């Protein structure tokens, strides 16, 4: 009984493979490269992830979302009249913490200009962040 079941599965798999080849005869798998992203007008996954994370961090900073934190982000109080900075909490014995949300985005957040972080709304933050990214050299 098991042998018949295995044979049936093999026949079905062969059928679907042949159907896929018949539907897309000229389809060739090509690796995605930066040139293809640029040609299509898309940004890389890393840049999109960074932008999304910074938007979430802006929402958290402006208290737009209510989140129950296990450990709240550490914001350093400013020594002068400038804005407060997000502090990385990195423990040397635990390398997994380098990938935590707060640690992953602290340095990028601290490098943003003051006018970008002082935006009034999320949409204005997005616009100012995109303008900052365009001015920044790659």
The boundaries of the domain holding residue 128 are: 44-135
Claim: this prediction has a pTM higher than 0.75? no
The answer to the question of residue 126 being in a domain is yes
Q: How many residues are present in the chain?
A: 138
Give the model confidence (pLDDT) of 87-138 as tens digits.
666 566 677 666 777 777 888 888 888 888 888 999 999 999 999 988 876 5
- Specify if 55 maps to a domain: yes
Residue 76 lies in a domain: yes
In a domain, 71, yes or no: yes
**Three-point CA angle 103, 106, 107, nearest 5°:** 115
Q: Is residue 27 part of a domain?
A: no
Q: Whole-angstrom Cα distance, residue 58 to residue 27?
A: 42
């Amino acid at each position: 009984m098991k042998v018949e079941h295995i044979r049936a599965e093999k026949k079905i798999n062969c059928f679907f493979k042949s159907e896929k080849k018949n539907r897309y005869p000229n389809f060739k798998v090509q690796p995605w490269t930066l040139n293809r992203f640029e040609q299509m007008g898309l940004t890389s996954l890393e840049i999109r992830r960074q932008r999304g994370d910074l938007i979430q961090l802006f929402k958290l900073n402006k208290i737009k979302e209510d989140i129950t934190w296990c450990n709240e982000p550490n914001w350093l109080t400013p020594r002068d009249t400038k804005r407060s900075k997000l502090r990385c909490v990195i423990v040397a014995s635990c390398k997994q913490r380098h990938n935590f949300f707060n640690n992953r985005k602290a340095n990028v957040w601290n490098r943003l200009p003051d006018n970008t972080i002082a935006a009034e709304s999320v949409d204005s933050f997005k616009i100012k962040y995109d303008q900052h990214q365009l001015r920044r050299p790659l």
